[in-house]
Chain A
Amino acid sequence: MNREKIVFAFFIMLALTLNFGFFLGEIDHPDHHSVYELYAAIIVSLIATVMKLGDRTHVGAVLLATSLVADLQLIIAAIIWGVMTHATEGGMTTYAMASIVSLSAGALLANITSVVLLIVETMTVRH
């Protein structure tokens, strides 16, 4: 296995674990979900996406697609968070918190898919 693949596996796995950590907890309880964890998940997921840019293999293209989905979900969650805390009068609500966490749960699914694809690729291509 080459280094590029190992580094990518590291980032995609880290994106999954960070996202899972953020997702864990009561869905509408702001204290259970750290903003730093969401931030780290977004950054790691973005890096994983960039690493797949320009990859013309079939699996590479699908991995690019799944990690783009994760980015999209997480960035929307972050925007909701920012809007709720700064642009509205009442600040964060339980309703907004629940939607942020459910968005991150969606991203989690995309992350899982990426990891599964990566495992499948690793199992089938042995060199």
Chain B
Amino acid sequence: MQHVFYLLLKRLRAPIITIISVYAISILGFTLIPGQDDQGNVWHMDFFHAFYFVSFMGSTIGFGEVPYPFTVAQRVWATISIYGTVISWLYSMGTIFSLFQDQNYQRLTRRTRFINQVKRITEPYYLICGFGSTGSRIAQLLDNHNIPSVIIESKLKVINELETDTLGLKLPSLCANASDPEVLKIAGINNDLCVGVLALTIDDQANLAIAINSKLVKPERLVISGTQSKATTGNLASFGTDLILDPFEIFADHLMLMLKQPYKHLIYDIFVNPNHSVWASPYQDTHGSWVICGYGRFGRALEEQFKKHNITHTFISTDPEGYNAPSGTVQGTGTEAHTLQEAGIGNAVGVIAGTNNDADNLSIIITARDLKPDLITVARQNVRTNKPVFKAANVNLIMEPGRIVANEIYMRVRTPLLTECFDLIRKRDEASTRTLLQLISHSMDVQELDAWTFTIEEKNSPAITEAIDNGGSVALSSLHKDPRDREQPLPLVALMLKRGNDSLLVPPPETRLNKGDQILFCGQHQAQIHMGWIMRDHNTLRYIQTGKVGPDGLLWRWLKERRQKMRDA
């Protein structure tokens, strides 16, 4: 890679040599041409005065003829020199300015700036390849929690928008092809601080290249990749990509969960969608057939899930044969009433508008609702900025590929235990999930829920490890009390306890904590801060456990012991 500084020097060689030569000739001329001093004697300018005169003449400052008025010969030479020096300066300046305008030069300066920015990062960061709807969301989520990220995006327009600060993010970003190993190298793929690589480009081959590169450099590092096809998914999995995300598969899975096991979906939704809206699905009848508009990747993912759960469904596609749609598919877009009727909207329980055109999707929802007002409506939103329209349309469930993937990644990055917790929840039955949901909603306001993990170790919870080391025991219930008033509970719920390889869902309050335990909590952010006091401050812990506020300083402790002894004696 070429350095900007060398490029600058190389381009400036010719102009500098020109200036030196023109000055040298002008100065020499002035020392050779005879002049006249104030007494009329012949006088030769010396080098010092010649240099002085040419310096101010060349820069067009012009102090006049010094030290004596010039003779005609000197004036002729001065005239020639003025043109020579001014032209050589203009030439040099022109070269410098054209260099600054040069595309190559600008690319190089951006690259150099990017390299320096990446080098200056001192915290663990994530490398995001592809700044599309998913990449930008995840960068924003990470930024909200002060986790830095580095961005590589192939579209210059996107990078320019990022640099002009429309999102309010100040992140190192580079416009380059992320599948190029050299680019990944300067983005710090070899750097120990790079804790995760997110391959989220729209090109599957590029995602593959990024994932392979990262796994080869550091096999243990987290790699998350988006995918567009089953073949790529298999390929990514074959070399150990940690998380492979296909937004359509995830959504189809969630939709099915919502229809079949609404409480499990609700609990997931509470954590993953920060501004989730509780859908009435647990209280709504979802048995019946569905009409699905659009048969592409999304349609196929839905078809698989619907077939698995034996739910009758009819597709509407613009080109059933071209897309190889199943038999019985109605031809059309679904925006007209007669196509929907043909697909049996009259008997359907819900409609899914899953085309890749947002206007069509909205039109489908509105037309369908006109035909049957109590339909469950699900719409796919492709463009992020269309959010207000979809909100206004009052759709029951909005499927936004970018957001789905970003939320999954964010959950995985922020609280890996939460993913594990959901896996456990999915294995349980619906009734116990309902109980858990009730527990959560009774303990706190579910609108602004946060989840966090605490590990019982010296670094994070010195008070608790100290108590355990001194032979005492700390029950999980201790962490549920408010450090300001231990009679009051903190608005939080312990979701999961992980001890070694065993995970326990909703551990009972009397559980005794061991060193090395990982506990997943959910609750309001404020509760996390209060809980931190219990874990770090041994006085707070003692108050929580005994209700007593003991003396702290050496002197007071000594006084207390003395008084105790005197009383005993």
A residues neighboring B (CB under 8 Å): 35-36, 39, 43, 46-47, 50-51, 53-54, 56, 78, 81-82, 85-86
Contacts and interface: CB of A to CB of B under 8 A. Distances in A.
A51 B17 CA distance: 8
| Contact residues of B: prevailing secondary structure | helix
B390 to A, nearest CB: 56
B20 A53 contact: no
Interface stretch (B8-16, B335-343, B558-566): B8-16
A50 B48 contact: no
A18 B459 CA distance: 72
A83 to B, nearest CB: 9
B21 interface: yes
21 contacts: A39-B24, A39-B31, A43-B20, A43-B24, A46-B20, A47-B17, A47-B20, A50-B17, A50-B20, A51-B17, A53-B16, A54-B5, A54-B7, A54-B9, A54-B11, A56-B3, A78-B47, A82-B47, A82-B48, A85-B46, A86-B48
Contacts of A46: 20
A47 B21 contact: yes
Interface in B1-36: 3, 5-13, 16-17, 20-21, 24, 27-28, 31
Contacts of B27: 39
Interface of B: 3, 5-13, 16-17, 20-21, 24, 27-28, 31, 46-48
B47 A54 contact: no
Contacts of B28: 36, 39
Contacts of A50: 13, 16-17, 20
A53 B48 contact: no
Contacts of B12: 53-54
A53 B47 contact: no
Most A CB atoms within 10 A — which of B7, B8, B11, B46?
B46
A48 B67 CA distance: 33
B16 A56 contact: no
A39 B51 CA distance: 11
A118 B3 CA distance: 25
Nearest to A35: B47
Contacts, number: 46
A36 B3 CA distance: 39
Nearest to B28: A39
Contact of A53 (B10, B31, B46): B10
Contacts of B24: 39, 43
A88 to B, nearest CB: 13
| Contact residues of A: prevailing secondary structure | helix
Nearest to A81: B47
A127 B11 CA distance: 25
A51 B217 CA distance: 41
A53 B28 CA distance: 25
Most A CB atoms within 10 A — which of B5, B7, B13, B28?
B13
Contacts of B20: 43, 46-47, 50
B13 A51 contact: yes
A21 to B, nearest CB: 16
B21 A56 contact: no
Contact of B6 (A35, A36, A47, A56): A56
Nearest to A50: B16
B469 to A, nearest CB: 60
A18 to B, nearest CB: 12
Given A36-B28, A54-B7, A81-B47, 17 more contacts: A35-B47, A39-B24, A39-B31, A43-B24, A46-B20, A47-B17, A47-B21, A50-B20, A53-B10, A53-B12, A54-B5, A54-B9, A54-B10, A54-B12, A82-B47, A86-B46, A86-B48
A31 B10 CA distance: 41
Nearest to A4: B13
A18 B48 CA distance: 20
A82 B16 CA distance: 24
Nearest to A44: B24
Contacts of B10: 53-54
Most B CB atoms within 10 A — which of A43, A50, A56?
A50
Most B CB atoms within 10 A — which of A53, A81, A86?
A53
Q: Which 5 A-B pairs have the closest CB atoms?
A: A54-B9, A54-B10, A43-B24, A53-B9, A82-B48
Most B CB atoms within 10 A — which of A36, A39, A86?
A39
Contacts of A85: 46, 48
Contacts of B46: 35, 85-86
Contacts of B9: 53-54
Nearest to B8: A54
A56 B1 CA distance: 12
Contacts of B8: 54
B54 to A, nearest CB: 13
A56 B9 CA distance: 11
Nearest to B12: A53
A53 B331 CA distance: 70
Contacts of B5: 54
Given A39-B47, A43-B24, A54 B6 contact: yes
A54 B13 contact: yes
A54 B24 CA distance: 23
Contacts of B6: 54, 56
A43 B7 CA distance: 24
A50 B21 CA distance: 12
A78 to B, nearest CB: 7
A31 to B, nearest CB: 16
A80 B437 CA distance: 90
A125 to B, nearest CB: 20
A56 B8 CA distance: 13
Nearest to A87: B48
A56 B7 CA distance: 10
Nearest to A51: B13
A43 B23 CA distance: 9
A82 B48 CA distance: 6
A39 B47 CA distance: 8
Contacts of A86: 46, 48
A35 B17 CA distance: 22
Nearest to B14: A50
